[in-house]
Amino acid sequence: MSTILMEKDLETGVWPEWFDQSGAIQEYESAPRPTRKDEAWRFANISALDLSQFQAAPAPSNEGRLITASSGLEKFSAKMVFANNTLIHEEAPQLPNEVLFLPLEVAAREHAALFRKYFMAQPVELGSHKFAALHKGKVTSGAFLHVPANTEVALPVEIFHWVEGAHSSVFPHTLIICGENSRVTVVDRFQSADGLKAFACGVNDLHLAPGARLTYVAVQDWSRDSLAFHLNSTIVDAQATSTALTANFGGGFLRGESLSRLVGEGSRSEMYSINPVEGTREIDQRTLQDHLAPNATSDLLYLNALDDASRTIFSGLIKVQPGAHGTDAYQKVRNLILSDEADPNSMPGLEILNDEVRCSHGATNGPISNEELFYLQARGIPRETGCRLIVNGFFNALLQKIADPALRDYLEGLLAKRLVLGGTPQK
């Protein structure tokens, strides 16, 4: 299971000495492999986790093409483009001077105190600590964004992570640190350059100081047979609001873990996810809404549309710690079932150690409404197009939570395009 680890570049030299990659690799090696007996891996297709076929990614073959393809929003404040773990392009046309937007390894050298305080600072506790260790052991670059207190970044920051080549391995990393009362929007895109099977093991960590406002959107569009881990933690301090939306368009086996820790009074974390799945693809998502502070709100809504023999697993927990009175927590997964063979698994959960709380959680499964479909068909829209419109609408309703109209339009466009392409690998 460990061929990619035995290859070159264990010590890449990009990191300061204190950044202990060999220790991380040892941690990876010694951590037990997940089994289905682990609660955190219940229902998961463990056999998909075989890493032996993957190898170190080669240097990107055509940087120019990928830079051109990394055109996202019409207006943005700054952009970084990574291909096969290497930064190939950066620009910052509209970024306030005081904002740090740096390659991760540069931040480690030049802003060591900040970096060490925030880099993978939260224990990975939703099942993939082994793969988090692998990430730390192999990461060579990534995006580091620090928005100082009282700074507003008006236009979104864009990050593109490309993977290229059969069986390549990438370790994308995004670390966002929002100072007090700062405001920023980040769009993180994960793309396959060639539609070939690849391995991605990514981490994105979001830190919000009191009063900060962060909108973070991740659009994952790896090839349809790739193996991917995306591990997230979000720490929200007093009166800060994080809106995080993840769209999983690709991946043959995707493991997503998302932890929101509400550490300050009146903090708010919104956790949204859009998952169209078809073929034999599997999306396995584990979440934790950890309420430590009083009067905090968390709102989780995950939408899955399952076609063919696809599978989804959702396991979520709302945890209300003893001091967290006045908690308002919601957790909901909705599965739109498009095929008899589809296999949705939902395990919503609550653990409340406090009386004065409002919590609700639930999961629903249902097919496309015949009445809705009839209505569309009665206007001349063919059945298949009507179904696609309804699926599009099912997800689109969640995109309306994005306040910025330009960003919302952009995401609506990506979604519509994805649903037209369906499960076919993109180029």
Partner 1 sequence: MSLHIENLHANIGDREILRGLNLEIPKGEVHAIMGKNGSGKSTLAKVMAGHPDYEVTKGTVTLDGLALLDLEEPDERARAGLFVAFQYPMEVPGVSIANFIRAARQAALPEDAELDAVEYYQDLYVKMDALKIPRNFTSRAVNEGFSGGEKKRCEILQLAMLAPKYAVLDETDSGLDIDALKIVSDGVNALRSPDRGFLVITHYQRLLDYIVPDVVHVMVNGQIVLSGDKELALKLEAEGYDWVEKETLATA
What residues make contact with partner 1 under the rule CB under 8 A? 369-372, 374-383, 385-386, 389-390, 392-398, 400
Nearer to partner 1, 184 or 390 (CB): 390
- Minimum gap (Å) between residue 241 Cβ and partner 1: 24
- Minimum gap (Å) between residue 224 Cβ and partner 1: 24
Within a 10 A sphere around the Cβ of 33, how many other Cβ atoms? Answer: 11
Nearer to partner 1, 100 or 376 (CB): 376
Within a 10 A sphere around the Cβ of 125, how many other Cβ atoms? Answer: 15
Q: Can you say whether the dihedral through the CA atoms of 326, 216, 247, 218 is positive or negative?
A: negative
- Minimum gap (Å) between residue 62 Cβ and partner 1: 32
- Minimum gap (Å) between residue 200 Cβ and partner 1: 29
- Minimum gap (Å) between residue 102 Cβ and partner 1: 38
Nearer to partner 1, 349 or 413 (CB): 413
Nearer to partner 1, 359 or 407 (CB): 407
- Minimum gap (Å) between residue 217 Cβ and partner 1: 17
Nearer to partner 1, 330 or 395 (CB): 395
- Minimum gap (Å) between residue 245 Cβ and partner 1: 15
- Minimum gap (Å) between residue 111 Cβ and partner 1: 42
Nearer to partner 1, 43 or 394 (CB): 394
Nearer to partner 1, 61 or 369 (CB): 369
Nearer to partner 1, 183 or 401 (CB): 401
Nearer to partner 1, 26 or 369 (CB): 369
Answer yes or no: are the C-beta atoms of 182 and 152 closer than 8 Å: yes
Nearer to partner 1, 116 or 383 (CB): 383
Q: What are phi and psi of 287, to 5 degrees?
A: -135, 155
CA 381 vs. chain centroid, Å, equals 34
Nearer to partner 1, 153 or 402 (CB): 402
- Minimum gap (Å) between residue 29 Cβ and partner 1: 46
- SS3 for the chain is CCHHHHCCCCCCCCCCCCCCHHHHHHHHHHCCCCCCCCHHHCCCCHHHHCCCCCEECCCCCCHHHHHHHCCCCCCCCEEEEEECCEEEEEECCCCCCCCEEEEHHHHHHHCHHHHHHHCCCCCCCCCCHHHHHHHHHHCCCCEEEEECCCCECCCCEEEEEEECCCCEEECCEEEEEECCCCEEEEEEEEEECCCCCCEEEEEEEEEECCCCEEEEEEEEECCCCCEEEEEEEEEECCCCEEEEEEEECCCCEEEEEEEEEECCCCCEEEEEEEEEECCCCEEEEEEEEEECCCCCEEEEEEEEEECCCCEEEEEEEEEECCCCCCEEEEEEEEEEECCCCCEEEEEEEEEECCCCEEEEEEEEEEECCHHHHHHHHCCCCCHHHHHHHHHHHHHHHHHCCCCCHHHHHHHHHHHHHHHHHCCCCCC
- Minimum gap (Å) between residue 302 Cβ and partner 1: 15
Alpha-carbon distance 4 to 390, whole Å?
42
- Minimum gap (Å) between residue 407 Cβ and partner 1: 15
Residue type, position 305, single letter: A
